[in-house]
Amino acid sequence: MTEHDNQYATSCLLVCSQKLGHVSRAVTRHSTMFKVLRKIHPKASTMALPLVRHYKLGMNAIKKGQVVELRDKVWKVTSKEHVVAGRGGAIVKMDMIELSSNNRISERFMSGDSLEVLNLKDENFQYLYNANGKVHLLNTETFEEVEMEEDMIEGGVKLLPMLE
């Protein structure tokens, strides 16, 4: 990532979708630190470049697995439930996990509220090797090598043989 990218991007995350088998990097505007989601698919085949553009979605349109921004932190929606309580307005209950610290929260929103959703863009990466407690991945288009801690992989060292 160049200095130019750092002016616009303020934090990057590795975001993983185990169903799709890809790793993505999302960007928020609030800090310049790179934060890594602790979940990487065993066959981490793709990774993403950061994008600055975000968009707002209403609570009814947000789906499980999307990455949202709430209180200047980045969260991944793990479950969503739409509840109608008698004569009152509808409430949306969401369970979310903070990507940088793995903290979990359960939030309630009015159905008319909206959250900022982060854009993700995919890019191919290939597993190279692991050494000194770090996993090395190679961008198959730019040949950039990415290095991350072994403990950032869900399951830790136990899943490394599956990457080889």
Look up the CATH number of the domain holding residue 67. 2.30.30.30
Give yes or no: residues 91 and 135 share one domain.
Answer: no
Q: What is the pLDDT of residues 57-102, one digit of tens each?
A: 999 999 998 889 999 888 889 999 999 888 888 999 999 998 777 7
Report the domain count for the chain.
2
What are the E-state strand segments in the chain?
A: 11-17, 22-28, 34-36, 46-47, 54-58, 67-70, 73-84, 90-98, 104-110, 114-118, 120-121, 123-131, 134-139, 145-149
Q: What is the pLDDT of residues 102-111, one digit of tens each?
A: 789 999 999 8
Nearest Cα neighbor of 62 from 24, 23, 105, 112 is 112
Name the DSSP letter for residue 152: G
pLDDT of residue 113: 93
Give yes or no: residues 64 and 106 share one domain.
Answer: yes
Give yes or no: residues 66 and 106 share one domain.
Answer: yes
* Confidence at 52, pLDDT banded by 50, 70, 90: very low
58 lies in which domain range?
54-118
Give yes or no: residues 113 and 147 share one domain.
Answer: no
Q: Residues 99, 20, 43, 140: is their CA dihedral positive or negative? A: negative
Give yes or no: residues 101 and 134 share one domain.
Answer: no
Q: Residues 130, 19, 56, 72: is their CA dihedral positive or negative? A: negative
pLDDT of residue 139: 86
* Confidence at 131, pLDDT banded by 50, 70, 90: confident
